[in-house]
Structure 1
Amino acid sequence: MPTIKVKGMSCQHCVKSVTEAMEALGAHDVSIDLLSGKVTYSESTPITPEAIKEAITKIGFEVVG
């Protein structure tokens, strides 16, 4: 499963927002660990890092690492 790290998440609303943004890109089985900021997901077709960064930034968070 691909993993990204997202900075700025602090609550379940943040988790929901990031999950929805990832699912809109075609990701599924999105799992988020708030403490570490790690987001893991599955993808049927490859999702570019640029698309992920744009979607996450658009909702107010930052992709790091």
Structure 2
Amino acid sequence: MEVLVNNKLYAVQQGITIAALLQFIQLSAHKGIAVAVNNQVVPKTAWDQQQVEPADNITIIRATQGG
């Protein structure tokens, strides 16, 4: 199935979770990351359970330091 992550199309396995998707796109260090699926923020505690659906639009935001 295909999902859109930060405006980039990825082919992933059916039933993949958000946590597995982050690992797949090499963002497994979960510190400073927020995830929204179809414009709905997903709590970090749900990443291991929530499955990604076909054609989901996923936005990943990474916090950065600066001043």
For the aligned pair, the TM-score class normalised by the smaller chain equals 0.3 to 0.5
TM superposition score normalised by structure 1 = 0.39
Structure index of larger Rg:
2
Q: Which has the higher helix share?
A: 1
